Amino acid sequence: MKKKYEYRIGEISKLYDIGPDSIRYYEEKGLISPKRKENGYRAYSLEDIWRLNLIKDLRKLNFSVKQIKSYLEDRNIDTTIDLMEKEIDLIEKEIVPLILLKKGLEEKVKILNDFKKINEYEKIKIKKIKARKIILIEESMSKDEEVDLAFRKLEARNDSKLFLFANKDMGVFIEKESMEKGNYTIYENAFFFVDGDEEKYNMIIPEGYFATLVYKGSYKKSQPLFEKIIKFIEEKGYSINGNPMEIYRLDIHGTSEEEEFITEIQIPILLKK
């Protein structure tokens, strides 16, 4: 008969929801030391139980097997306090990105709610916009799939800070040569806007005046609406002062309904003297 408080590996695996291979690995590394029965089966005691309790909890906190072994071999009030303080530091480091993500999501919700309240789309407005930092990838592209791939490449540079779903703004610059030929559907850079205190960025879009227009629906509207805003700039006697941008406020990542897409055109301008 099985002795009281002795358990087989299958029972332990089920109890802790840990695979048998992981349990054997902990034994191999000296974290637990089950006894061997005459038939060769491992028998886990209460000693192994409390050790597995600690192992599972510390693995949840991302401690390495080496750190756990060291703690199990030298466990007292001081080493416990030290372990807990280290975990507090680790938690603090994990909290910061979550707080930033929460802030980004809250800002995104506010932006989308503001756009939902717009009664009149495709209306040209002149706005003074503060300087903005961006991370960009220099790559010519035209199709939606190519733009998505460029954004994924941007995300890959810093997955902890860039989110297609939650980032404040993302967009593309219109290629200068194509624009001069009247084609506003060829892009030369994809970019993400980042917070003003961000240290890693490629360039700053300087503060200035922008001719802006927000539209809903298919990107097929982009070309004629660019033509509309360029004509407006010329008629007003303004001059273009940099690369036009197409900013995706709500796209395929936020809705499957094309008619809900929200895009903003921004063209930097110099007002007439």
Over residues 82-117, the pLDDT tens digits come to 888 888 888 888 888 788 778 878 887 888 888 778
* pLDDT of 212 strictly over 90: yes
* pLDDT of residue 1 exceeding 50: no
247: Cα separation from own chain's centroid:
18
> What's this model's pTM, rounded to 2 decimal places?
0.61
DSSP annotation of 217 reads S
Percent of the chain with pLDDT over 90: 23
Per-residue confidence (pLDDT) for residue 159, from 0 to 100? 46
- CA dist 249 → 31, 108, 146, 261, 263 (Å): 52, 9, 18, 8, 5
Closest CA relative to residue 93, chosen from 160, 144, 170: 160
Predicted local confidence at residue 165, as pLDDT:
43
Q: Which alpha helices (DSSP H) does 117-221 contain, by range? A: 144-157, 176-180
What distances in angstroms separate CA 8 from CA 35, 49, 131, one per listed residue? 10, 12, 65
